[in-house]
Amino acid sequence: MIELEHIVRTFRADPEKPPVTAVNDVSLTVGNGEIFGIIGFSGAGKSTLVRCINLLERPDSGSVRINGVEMTELPPRDLYRARRKIGMIFQQFNLMPSRTVGQNVAYPLKGSGLTREQQRQKVRDLLELVEIGDKVDAYPSELSGGQKQRVALARALANDPNILLCDEATSALDPQTTGAILRLLSDLNRSLGLTMVVITHEMEVVKAICRRAAVMDHGEIVETGDILDVFSAPQHPMTRNFVRTTSHLSKLDDLLREKSPMVRLKEGQVLTRLTYYGQTGISEPLITSAARKFDLDLNIILADVEIVADSMIGGTVVIFQGAPDRIDGALQYMRDKNVKVKVIDDARVPA
């Protein structure tokens, strides 16, 4: 359990200038075994916030409680011990280039009370766990990015932590490798019951593995909750912006701006954006049943539906064509099925 309360962290690069606030009064709670995402554009303060959890950054004020222990009050020795139970992985992996893979993973085991042979066994087990057991004697410079992150993960797990902090852990990896690492993180979360805090600027990462997420902007958390709610019904403009930039539906804005023939309406047509929320009615064939029921032609221009936390979210851009009152009926039918309907352009002849 991670409890952050009213965390403030400022930096003063230049004594002449006023300090820059990197994290401004942030409170959040991450439950045991949860994968919690923190997203935001770069410079939003995510990295500083996550470093406040293991006190790599000491907050100016506020409270950091890990499993009920107030971290900010621990004397140095106890803090070092507490950090052993909080693993961390980084965007740049941070493996020690002069040590082999095995030596890197063994680094945090010094002083753990294990014998040499037990340490060797532990290193082997950890490397098996991250599916890279054959690289024990390789140097980091001989590994690919994905392999390096696996080694870093094994090292972070060496002291059997119950918390794992991931600071942009997949941002330096290609999409395929990102997928593999995210699956691994997800598996570890399930098999070891690890609590994870995942910092990222990539929506895909949060969508792929998080149940709950917070959106950060200018040092503050502007939105937090179940990722289904956050992504299907973003409240804050910043979140909406984030969701929009990652959705294919944002192409509609381009098409409209370019006055593309795709969205130029003939008389009697209505251009709409339909947005789906979670489970609501998506399993039903809404488009075709509306078309049949109201005797309309529906032309899908764009569609983007994603599975987030086992539910579908997303939307379609559809041109309705048919009798004006029947179109109204169909739109109402959609609304009744809990679909958000937005009429973008209406070329019906007023009756």
Partner 1 sequence: MRESLLEFLRAWLPNLMKRLPEFWKATCDTLLMEVWAGSICFALGLVFGIVLTVTKPGGIMENRPVYQALDKLINLFRSIPFIILLTALMPLSRLLMGTAIYVRGVIVPLVFGATPFFSRQVESALAQTDKGLIEAALSMGSSPFEIIFRVYLRESVAPIVRATTITTISLLGLTAMAGAVGAGGLGDFAIRYGHDRNMVDITWVTVVVLVLAVSAVQWLGEMLARRNTH
Applying CB under 8 A, does 141 fall inside the site for partner 1? Answer: yes
Q: Is 88 a residue that touches partner 1 (CB under 8 A)? A: yes
State which residue, 95 or 290, has the beta carbon closest to partner 1. Answer: 95
DSSP conformation letters of 282-334: TTS-HHHHHHHHHT-EEEEEEEEEEEETTEEEEEEEEEEES-HHHHHHHHHHH
Q: Does 150 bind partner 1 (CB under 8 A)?
A: no
Binding mask 11-50 for partner 1 (x = CB under 8 A): ----------------------------------------
Nearer to partner 1, 54 or 178 (CB): 54
Binding mask 94-133 for partner 1 (x = CB under 8 A): xxxxxx-------xx-x-----------------------
53 vs 238, beta carbon nearer partner 1: 53
Place of tokens 């086992």: 310
**Is residue 54 part of the contact set for partner 1 (CB under 8 A)?**
yes
- CB contact at 8 A, 25 and 4: no
151-210 positions binding partner 1, by CB under 8 A: 152, 155-156, 158-159, 165
Q: How far is CA 7 from the centre of its chain?
A: 21
| The one among 139, 225, 262, 275 contacting partner 1 by CB under 8 A | 139
Check binding of 333 to partner 1 (CB under 8 A).
no
Give the integer Cα–Cα distance in Å for 309 and 208.
8
CB of 66 to partner 1, least distance (A): 13
Report the relative pairing of strands 269-276 and 340-346 from DSSP bridges: antiparallel
What distance in Å separates the CA atoms of residue 226 and residue 51, rounded to the nearest whole number? 23
Q: Please name the helix (run of DSSP H) or strand (run of DSSP E) that holds residue 69, with its range, or none.
A: strand 69-70
| Angle, CA 107 vertex, CA 56 and CA 210 arms, to 5° | 55
Q: Tell me the C-alpha distance between 146 and 25, whole Å.
A: 35
CB closer to partner 1, 96 vs 307:
96
Which residues of the shown chain bind partner 1 in the complex (CB under 8 A)? Answer: 54, 56, 76-77, 80-84, 86-88, 90, 92, 94-99, 107-108, 110, 139-141, 152, 155-156, 158-159, 165
